[in-house]
Structure 1
Amino acid sequence: MEVLRDMQIQGTKVPHLVILPLPFQGHINPMLQLATLLQSKGFSITLIHTHFNSPNPSNYPNFNFEPIPDGLSDSQLWTEDPVKILYFLNDTCQAPFHDRLSRLLSDGPVTCIITDEIFYFTKAVADQLKLPRILLNTGSATYATTTASLKLLQQNGLLSITDGQPNTLIPEIPPLRIKDIPDIGTTDPDTFEQLGANVLNAMRSTLGYIMNTFDDLESTALAKIRQDIHPMPLFAVGPLCKFSPGSSNSLLTQDYSCMAWLDKQAPQTVIYVSFGSTASFDKRNVVEIAWGLANSDQPFLWVIRRGSIHGHDQVELPEGFEEKTRERGQIVNWAPQQKVLAHPSVGGFWTHNGWNSTLESICEGVPMICSPYLWDQNLNARYVSHVWRVGIQLENGFDRSEIEWAIRRLMVEIEGKDIRERVRDLKENAMHCIEKGGSSYESLDGLVDIIMSL
């Protein structure tokens, strides 16, 4: 670390990192947090990004921003299978990324590329331009080990899920049930298989592998990755949301008015409800959510994002709901989530369990109600509720009586007190990891050292 500061003082050229995030909220957040952290250590940062979901340069005045075309149309974004979009981006971004990187090299050296692991095309570009490359995995270590185990078990015909029901435990990968297997949300499993094979192949010859997690949370999974899956150096530098808390990475406009409303609420009484940037529900589910919140008698802050209700641009809540909840409910289009979770009035988080949201909740000591939607969220919810035991999972979709009971269990029953104590312990562990001498602090030092050795 001191080497970088000394180089700046002596006028030596600062090491230059090129960062390429995958253009989705759950991937952009940790990548920009990582870039902000590395910039604070003295590195020069150039962010190459797609036009789709382009980040706001004004939030990062010390970064250099370089846009590249991605070829995505609005119709694709609304209708295409998400896996096909990922495959498409890997195809269309390779040539413009190569051209932009070549131009950067003509102006001066680039020390290293740091890219989302799903952008497998960057291996070919890095090889052609003779640049080292480091990968960022934005999911949990448990998700990485589970998907690897599933693939191996399927290949060997050893996976015992053929005749099971959704709640059947899978003996080979406890504590997961059939329903907890990651849902890739695709109608084209062959394309997904090819995408995964391409990602795995592109991991070869990389300089290192960064993960947004910490040892005290996922020590077993991290050990398995180090030993069995990825032989390259592994840097568990999370939670990035606490290592780099000052950066604003939201692709949606945040409504800060909810903070003043939270100021008026009693400590640990508010249930914060947000299902992320991509989940959408039919109107019947929204009605059940609304009445579950209303009947719980707890104050709530509910994020209803535009596009989150199928076929409806405007929010249409059931008759009588507003009258019943006027004194204790607040609805916004989008919230500054980290600030909300850190607010003393928030006592619970009803979440889709994306990895970023799960980490943010743990890091603020806020227990969860889990309603997973896609991808890794089923697995994350299972670990929250049954391994770390810092939340309650809604097992049967959206039913107002089950929602009401889950909120009351978490917020007012003795069970919620025990859950709150466990999540506070995890919060303390997370803070220890990023302090000097902690595992994530040391891992970050190792990442800086390996880049400086180039």
Structure 2
Amino acid sequence: MAITTDSHVAVLAFPFGSHGQPVLAVTRRLASASPSTVFSFFNTAQSNSSLFYSDPPPNIRVHEVSDGVPEGTVLTGNPEEAVELFLEAAPEIFRREIAVAEKEVGLKVNSMLTDAFIWFAGDIAAELNVSWVAFWISGPNSLTAHLNTDLIRETIGNVKDGRMEETLEFITGMEKIRVKDIPEGVVSGNLNSVFSNMLHQMSLALPRATAVYVNSFQELDPRLTDNLRSKFKRCLSIGPVGLLTSQTETQVNDPHGCLGWIEKQSPASVAYIAFGRVMTPPPRELVEIAQGLESSKVPFIWSLKEKNMVHLPKGFLDGTRKQGMVIPWAPQVELLNHEAVGVFVSHGGWGSVLESVAAGVPMICRPFFGDHALNARSVEVVWEIGMTIINGVFTKEGVEECLDRVLVQDEGKKMKCNAKKLQEVALEAVSTKGSSSENFKGLLDQVVKV
């Protein structure tokens, strides 16, 4: 199908974890809103294979770029190694592939839209004399933490001196966040790791961007929104991206019959348990979750990769066949939006938090790394829509107590009420005249302007 092209946008994805999906979701929506713009989407073959289940629209051209791993190299399995090799090679790879795409399309790139992790895109955009628009796929809380890395390091100093419980009173909007909630690499953990260096470089580069857009809605954290606006030339909250793009979804994939099972459950009674694509609790904690679920008698749906089911206690699957189901994949958004789900047990990744907010479902968070602890803290004390698992790890007793607090006690009723209020605000933000919809128009203008 031939299309008339009047502008050309280079989209640079970060090919690790769950980063590609939200960047592609926004690209699809932009492509739908501007059919005369060609979007050249650059990503590794491995990442693309997990994103494209069907042919993209005709104005999204998918390009496979090298992962930067030299031929013959055998990776050790350390995730940082693959990221480091990619980041070292990526600037030249992207420069080369953009030139190829310009020849194919017959039109120079007029703007660059990239994952914020690709901090060197600012240099490439400057060379091409085009605008650089960066997408932070997580929340305003973690972006604020990374932007203030130098300030936090100067103010807190050595974290070994017992300051982990202190709150970040000196950063607007972060007054309830503790030092120990901040992602590792800012003041704790290895400050010279690949990820720490990448995020620090990003924090220094992002203020140069023509615009930064965030997968959030500005009413979720108004003071953080204002704070970010003061740091950037333009800052646009366009989320929850899942709500903005859900209308493009067609048939629901439910291979294990979750939706039929949940129809038979009472309102707000079911615990849905899932830890995202990347994270799985250690085997010992899987046993504790299973034991806590079984003894609590709470109906459940647990999305757990098949390879990890071997760690479940002997007899658990048979013994809980009437109580719940353990399946390798579940239609998460549809489940969270079902009236029978009363709590979402999660790692606290930003995508999962937003989906829970959008569905009005309280959370029990078990953070692992990155922004998880920061998001869990926000869930518990900033928005008051859930709690962090007791003592930070799953135990049988902790699972029982948390489920009881959220699903039965008055404390849980308040969480549910707060979650429903936040859901209304999120739905309003993505409505026709809502803040996220208006900000999306601003993003569209910024990206496709000739």
TM range (shorter): 0.7 to 0.9
Q: Distance in 2 between matches of 1:188 and 1:306?
A: 35
Counterpart of 1:51 in structure 2 is 45
The alignment status of 1:31 with 2:23, answered yes or no, reads yes
Mapping of 1:421-440 within 5 angstroms? 421-440=417-436
Counterpart of 1:411 in structure 2 is 407
Deviation at 1:440, TM superposition (A): 1.1
Counterpart of 2:268 in structure 1 is 268
Counterpart of 1:100 in structure 2 is 97
The alignment status of 1:287 with 2:279, answered yes or no, reads no
Cα pair distance change 1:139/1:299, threshold 3 Å: same
The one of 45, 60, 77 equivalent to 1:79 is 77
The one of 196, 201, 213 equivalent to 1:198 is 201
Of 276-285 and 386-395, more deviation after overlay is shown by 276-285
Q: Cα deviations across residues 326-382 of structure 1 (Å, max 9, x unaligned)?
A: 101111112221122122221110011100100010001111011111000100000
- TM-score, normalised to structure 2, is 0.87
What is the RMSD computed on CA atoms of the aligned residues? 2.7
- TM-score, normalised to structure 1, is 0.87
Counterpart of 1:387 in structure 2 is 382
Counterpart of 2:444 in structure 1 is 448
The alignment status of 1:325 with 2:320, answered yes or no, reads yes
- The letter of the residue matching 1:21 is A
Structure 1: runs of 5+ lacking an equivalent: 1-10
Deviation at 1:29, TM superposition (A): 2.3
Q: Cα deviations across residues 214-240 of structure 1 (Å, max 9, x unaligned)?
A: 11102111111111x32x211111111
Counterpart of 2:344 in structure 1 is 349
Cα pair distance change 1:247/1:77, threshold 3 Å: farther
CA contact (8 A) 1:57 1:65 kept: no
Counterpart of 1:164 in structure 2 is 162
Counterpart of 1:6 in structure 2 is none
CA contact (8 A) 1:140 1:212 kept: yes
Cα pair distance change 1:434/1:412, threshold 3 Å: same
Deviation at 1:419, TM superposition (A): 0.9
SS of aligned partner of 2:220: helix
CA contact (8 A) 1:50 1:70 kept: yes
Counterpart of 1:8 in structure 2 is none
Cα pair distance change 1:445/1:278, threshold 3 Å: same
The alignment status of 1:336 with 2:331, answered yes or no, reads yes
- The letter of the residue matching 2:18 is G
Counterpart of 1:13 in structure 2 is 5
CA contact (8 A) 2:132 2:209 kept: yes
CA contact (8 A) 1:273 1:301 kept: yes
Q: Distance in 2 between matches of 1:329 and 1:235?
A: 41
- The letter of the residue matching 2:202 is V
Q: Distance in 2 between matches of 1:130 and 1:180?
A: 39
Q: Percent identity?
A: 27
Structure 2: runs of 5+ lacking an equivalent: none
The alignment status of 1:138 with 2:126, answered yes or no, reads no
CA contact (8 A) 1:33 1:247 kept: no
Q: Cα deviations across residues 153-196 of structure 1 (Å, max 9, x unaligned)?
A: 323x4458543275554554531234312135965625445323
Of 298-307 and 210-219, more deviation after overlay is shown by 298-307
CA contact (8 A) 2:14 2:117 kept: yes
Q: Cα deviations across residues 9-55 of structure 1 (Å, max 9, x unaligned)?
A: xx853433222221234312211221122122124333211123224
- The letter of the residue matching 2:115 is D
Deviation at 1:401, TM superposition (A): 0.6
Counterpart of 1:214 in structure 2 is 217
SS of aligned partner of 1:215: coil
Q: Distance in 2 between matches of 1:75 and 1:304?
A: 32
Q: Distance in 1 between matches of 2:100 and 2:317?
A: 56
Q: Distance in 1 between matches of 2:447 and 2:56?
A: 23
Q: Distance in 1 between matches of 2:44 and 2:254?
A: 22
The one of 184, 192, 216 equivalent to 1:189 is 192
Counterpart of 1:373 in structure 2 is 368
Question: How many matched pairs?
Answer: 432
Counterpart of 2:117 in structure 1 is 118
Cα pair distance change 1:332/1:243, threshold 3 Å: same
SS of aligned partner of 1:203: helix
Mapping of 1:63-74 within 5 angstroms? 63-72=60-69
The alignment status of 1:315 with 2:310, answered yes or no, reads yes
Q: Distance in 1 between matches of 2:386 and 2:114?
A: 32
Deviation at 1:56, TM superposition (A): 4.0
SS of aligned partner of 2:46: coil
Of 20-29 and 358-367, more deviation after overlay is shown by 20-29
